[in-house]
Amino acid sequence: MTVSVPGNAVVLLENGQEYFPALEASIDAAEREIFLQSYIFSADKVGRSIAGALRRAARRGVVVRVMVDGFGGRDFVRDLMPELAEAGVEVLIYRRELRAMSLRRHRLRRLHRKVVTIDGREAYVGGINITDDFTPNGSPFPRYDYAVRVQGPVLEPIVESAHRLWRLVAWASFRRRVHQPLLAPPRGDAAGAIRAAYVVRDNLRYRRAIEDAYLAAIGRARSEIVIANAYFFPGRRFRQALAEAAQRGVRVMLLLQGAGGDHPLQVYATRALYPFFLQRGVELYEYHRSHLHAKVAVVDGCWATVGSSNIDVFSLLLAREANVVIEDEGFAVQLRHSLAAAMRDGAEAQLPERWRRLPLMRRMANWLAYQVVRMAIGIAGYGGKH
């Protein structure tokens, strides 16, 4: 069960255009300790700018610890890690080796969190990797994503989790300095009036914590559920919870990836689920303006979550993920308005009659993609659980 604590300040950051300047300013203001965890850390304009801020912090005496996933951060290892290490930044790579085409369960357990803690006084949590929002020759609009900047008592589990994972990976990497002291303990004094909780998914104590937080909010919903999720391939429990909510009169809206996604197979597999949802009154919207990378939700205008977790087997049952749950009407309304603008200006409603008249070849493509993804889940050992 997710337990929220009062007294927090939570600032919503939409896209890298808001996130990266705020993050760089916080790094430049750091005095003692920085933890940064990211799935991707690119050597592009944005990545080099953040790397420069981390080098500056290390050179003025701040302890800087960066952890990047071994699969998502393959380019980081080659292009950025040497210069960061030379400047005094401590770097760990999470599960550095990944065999090509391997579907072994332990090989698929990636570090998918995007978390930064600074001096125990603030943290950033969300879905935004350290990479440019704009892809070469791509959409003129930025990648669509969110993060939050938090202060207050919820910092305690965020900082403790970052430090614990660092010790775990350092120990697994045979590093000598495993039991490093926490130089900047989290400041737990009140910073605002928002109730918030930090929810992680790991392979030990919190295997289903994020999924359970979603399901509890969906089960309590009385008026509206809005979910924006980049890679949406929910298991039976999640599908049924959404269907039951719609059938008891809750308006359920899903904002999903359109054709511009970087994993087209999963987009087509998700579309195989559209008839199930449309027949039960769930509203579906596909985002086409740019690449949708968001993992957020709003329920009844008073509960919200922002984080790194997709609603698919790889996030909910395999990867290390991190979300912040916010119980505050003002924050939820702000996020709801942002999602409404995205659906209005950048998405297309998926109408039931269109999917009833879908050509046979399109139906077959969706069905085949669905079967391939299901097979991959089964090979990974999670077919029965998902």
Residue 25 host element (H or E): helix 15-29
Q: Is residue 114 annotated as a catalytic residue, yes or no?
A: yes
Q: Which of 293, 312, 328, 386 is catalytic?
A: 293
Q: Which of 69, 112, 133, 202 is catalytic?
A: 112
Q: Which of 119, 132, 133, 145 is catalytic?
A: 119
Name the residue type at position 6. Answer: P
Name the residue type at position 73. Answer: G
Count Cβ atoms below 10 Å from residue 359 Cβ, excluding itself.
8
b/e map of 178-217 (b: 16 or more CB within 10 Å)?
eeeeeebbbbeeebbebbbbbbbbbeeeeeebbbbbbbbb
Length of the chain: 386
Q: Is residue 45 annotated as a catalytic residue, yes or no?
A: no
The span from the CA of 379 to the CA of 209, in Å, is 24
Q: Which of 163, 291, 295, 386 is catalytic?
A: 295
Q: Which of 132, 133, 300, 328 is catalytic?
A: 300
Q: Is residue 112 annotated as a catalytic residue, yes or no?
A: yes
Q: Which of 69, 114, 312, 328 is catalytic?
A: 114
- Report which of 36, 75, 76 is spatially closest to residue 54, judged by C-alpha positions: 36
The answer to whether the CB of 251 falls within 8 A of the CB of 224 is yes
The span from the CA of 49 to the CA of 39, in Å, is 17
Q: In this structure, are strands 224-229 and 251-257 parallel, antiparallel, or unpaired?
A: parallel
The answer to whether the CB of 275 falls within 8 A of the CB of 355 is yes
The span from the CA of 384 to the CA of 378, in Å, is 8
Q: Is residue 163 annotated as a catalytic residue, yes or no?
A: no
Residue 247 host element (H or E): helix 236-247
The residues annotated as belonging to the active site are: 112, 114, 119, 293, 295, 300
